[in-house]
Structure 1
């Protein structure tokens, strides 16, 4: 019996214990009975806890399998208003295309990213559409909020080409010798006027004069693992109760030592994450090919290649299902 059939047996047990077996038209049922969005099927990410949504895939990662199994649709063709599957399942569950949150930018593949990730020389969209029209923007050039790059000649030319007018700052034609050029912090003389710069943790406002605090806690990809508190010019990381701070924004669980459940050569045991010592718990006549841990009930389940599913508690194991 192969792994998929073993997991199907486990699904029967899950269904008998109360997992609802009915899924909607736009959903795909995992082998453990849980329903997930059909467009998550074979997308390269395991959304089912048993990983069954990524088994027996006929499509490449990023593509979507038609609900009737007749073929695949490339990711960019999903929810584009033109059904390509015989059952039109590539146009189901398209509510995610309604739009992005305020301040976000929609990529060509319909993923939403924060506006400040546009033209940062990183492929944040996945299809590089956030970088493909940016080009190279040197230190002396001006980057508008929409990603447009302006040349030094376009600064202070009397025509506002950025939506927030940052290419026409209030420091145009001014000198640092006269009232620090109007800058709230450091001033540097340029041919076009006074360039205001800010200390770490702050950024120049669109008017070119004032330094504003950067709210690191509002960024989509922050430096804190758990909690973040913004402070003027900086930020502070905090941890949830039961965790201690490690000093680099990370948090470590307190109390019992973290252990990983694993199998090797017919043994099931725990690896101590601090000492790296392997502690065997059970032996199996055949190598386990799938296993899981029920934290709430302190039970371990595993299956072997012969179709047996085991349940273990307090170092005792019994066969839950055979054949």
Structure 2
């Protein structure tokens, strides 16, 4: 420390005449100042500083900068040494504290050993569970209460249920149901729980066709039944036959016949079905003359047979000969001869036919000789 002090003191003494010389000589324009004091180099009193002053005036800017830098370096060195001294002192303090802590730990262990020897710990949990609602944990010289999962400690002894549903719905997709010490998730109708939190759609149609009579259609969260053509939904699952004939006769021209799940149209006699609903006249005469012996005449929805002259209709289709002679002798004066489909008259001997039915004469025939 003595050497350090002497060095700093010597540097300070050297800097002082140089600065004075600069101030005096350079400001006056010539080197006339003389330093009276100890010789800086050899300790001789009355050392002439004119050489220093002349040198300063010759290179004023260089010396001023050099003096300032040397002063800063000395100041930094002094600061570093002070910090090093402070660090050394702190390290000694830390070591002393470590020793102190080690001593206190030893004393604490000794005290605990003495306590175990002379004083037995009271297990507060043995009496009424320490007053704890759930769990009592004994410690050396004390105790504490804890709660089962799903509960939280209120104060020091009481356990209160945690409402898991109050935070983010308990993580449930649909409904969260809080219970004492726990919770569970439920799903809306049409969904089922997958795992513990997620709800997925139930395919009701996969089991017994959803209870539908005919078709089951699954949708998100629900389903519905539909019926095949010719049936209508009764309630939600049953399919009943539709009587199409009730409404506008099923669209039939003539007759509508309901069937299970459907219907069909029929036509009255003399008509036939064109397509599924329309009835048009049947020309019965077009096939085998309608079954008539002679003439078949078609009518709207029917037909009739007729016979040629000399015949009469027997029943609806057959033509039989008319015996014109049976009625008033066919109108003949004398003889009536019936033929197939006709007749003719003849006269007795001595008469001759006049026209168709008349007989004229009445004279005797003459004889030739």
Which bracket does the TM-score occupy, shorter chain normalised? under 0.3
User: Which structure is higher in helix share?
Assistant: 2
TM-score, normalised via structure 2 length: 0.21
Q: Quick check: which has more Rg, 1 or 2?
A: 2
